[in-house]
Amino acid sequence: MSWMDEVPRRYLSSVEPYRPGKPMEEITRTYGLTEVVRLCSNENPWPLPQAVMEAIAAAKDGINRYPDPEAYNLKRAIARHLGVSPLEVAVGGGTEGVLCTLFQSILEEGDHIIVPSPTYPVYKLTASAAGGVCDPVPLLEDFSLPVDGVLQMCGPRTKAVVLCNPNNPTGNIVPGKDLLNLAVRLEERHVLLIVDEAYAEYVTDPRYVCGADLFRQASNVVILRTFSKIYGLAGLRIGYAIGPKVIIEAFGKVRRVFSVNSVGQRAALAALGCGDHVAKVRDMTIAERRRVHKALSGLGIRVHDTHANFLLLEVPRAEETYEGLLLNGVIVRLGEDLGLKGTLRVTIGLPEENDRFLSELDRVLRRIGR
């Protein structure tokens, strides 16, 4: 063993790198395809509103200058949007960028975080990169959160519980009353509750409580949100958090100085003013989600209920089905990458993309045998 093997942080020895959905360029290059449908990363496929496109175009004249490091205008717009103080808002390069900085600002080496399993793998990765230890709590058979199990896991080094609500990849929600109950009981243990609401704008269930409302009711809550999903700005990488002022202040001490570029700041600012467009995208996505769910059920596939812009399917020979879809130019997500063997996670795309997926899936299942 070389001394060089001892250079990387020992906490990273058990960390698997995050495996994102395959890019379209890789599939066209590997399989020699000309038409590819990408339904693997829960992106918003609908066109951006005109106001956002104009903001992006207007920002091009300033790209030779560094962006506003404080994201002053964007933070204040977010604060107005959610009804909080600008001093309770932090921005960063997507959810993972915000998480990296947040964990660097709150975790001492050896501190623990608790996450449900399965959930978004980046929580473990970013916590480990900050020297933290990740404690997984298995979800119940129906994917609901075992609140008492989470509380039992809390120990003297537990710093935070991280939940994705709706959860990725299962798509279910933790009802608001359960979240508030958990937040109150965690506060008694001096533990933060971090709630990732990447898919919040898609939820219509009355049991769901917006993170901003939860934040106003509990003193130990940090809410994460993103412009990558329903706002359609995934390529510009803008995420944000609202949290107690002391946490946001600590975040500001270690944040990347220019973590959100000037084009992204202008685009996100414009997107916040497009509430009618967001509602339209939500309605169109839900309508397509219902249609695809019904069609999949007609193929004899078990589909889990979801509150997000994706579906979780249980399919026979999932890896072979996944590869068969790839060969036919349809990129979905193998559930095993997200901790759920025997499943595929499929983003709701445009109507024609969904039709292509359904057609190719039926063909693949016929070939391998249902």
The predicted-structure confidence for 21-38, as pLDDT tens digits, reads as follows 777 777 777 767 778 899
Point out the domain boundary residue: 258, 274, 290.
274
Q: What proportion of the chain, given as a percentage, has pLDDT over 90?
A: 86
Q: How many CB atoms lie within 10 A of CB 97?
A: 21
Q: Is residue 29 within 8 Å of residue 236, measured between CB atoms? A: no
- Classify residue 12 as left (phi > 0), alpha (psi -120 to 50) or beta: alpha
Q: Are residues 155 and 241 in the same domain?
A: yes
Question: Does 162 share its domain with 239?
Answer: yes
List C-alpha distances in Å: 87 to 47, 76, 197, 242. Answer: 33, 9, 20, 9
Please give the model's pTM, rounded to 2 decimal places: 0.94
- The answer as to whether 56 is a domain residue is no
Mean local confidence (pLDDT), 42-49: 97
Q: Identify the burial level of 300 via C-beta atoms within 10 angstroms of its C-beta, where 0-12 means exposed, 13-18 middle and 19 or more buried.
A: exposed
Cα separation values, 211 from 166, 346, 350, Å: 11, 26, 29
pLDDT tens digits, one per residue of 249-282 = 999 999 988 999 999 999 999 999 999 999 999 9
User: Which of 274, 289, 307 marks a domain boundary?
Assistant: 274
Digit-coded pLDDT (tens) for 209-248: 988 999 999 999 999 999 999 999 999 999 999 999 999 9
Higher pLDDT pick, 4 / 108:
108
Whether residues 252 and 287 share a domain: the answer is: no
Asked if 270 and 343 sit in the same domain, the reply is: no
Q: How confident is the model at residue 9 (pLDDT cuts 50, 70, 90)?
A: confident
For residue 80, tell me if it sits in a domain.
yes
Residue 74 domain-assigned (yes or no): yes
**Do residues 283 and 209 both lie within one domain?**
no
Task: Examine residue 52 and state whether it is found in any structural domain, yes or no.
Answer: no
Statement to judge: residues 42 and 104 lie in one domain: no
Closest CA to 322 of 286, 357, 292, 298: 357
In a shared domain, residues 155 and 292: no
Asked whether residue 54 is assigned to any structural domain, the reply reads no
Query: Which CA distances in Å does 190 have to 39, 73, 151, 158, 218?
Result: 40, 33, 12, 9, 12
**Would you say residue 198 lies in a domain?**
yes
Domain boundary among the residues 218, 246, 274 is at: 274
- What pLDDT score does 370 carry? 61
Q: Domain check: are 241 and 195 in the same one? A: yes
Q: How many independent structural domains does the chain possess?
A: 2
Q: What is the mean pLDDT of residues 160-186?
A: 97
CA dist., res. 195 & res. 225, Å (int)? 9
DSSP 175-203: -HHHHHHHHHHHHHTT-EEEEE-TTGGG-
CATH number of residue 171's parent domain? 3.40.640.10
Domain boundaries, position 144: 61-274
Residues 26 and 134 in one domain: no
Give kind and range of the element (H or E) at residue 73: helix 72-82
pLDDT at 300 over 90: yes
DSSP 118: S
CA angle 29/32/38 to nearest 5° reads: 70
Q: Are residues 185 and 297 in the same domain?
A: no
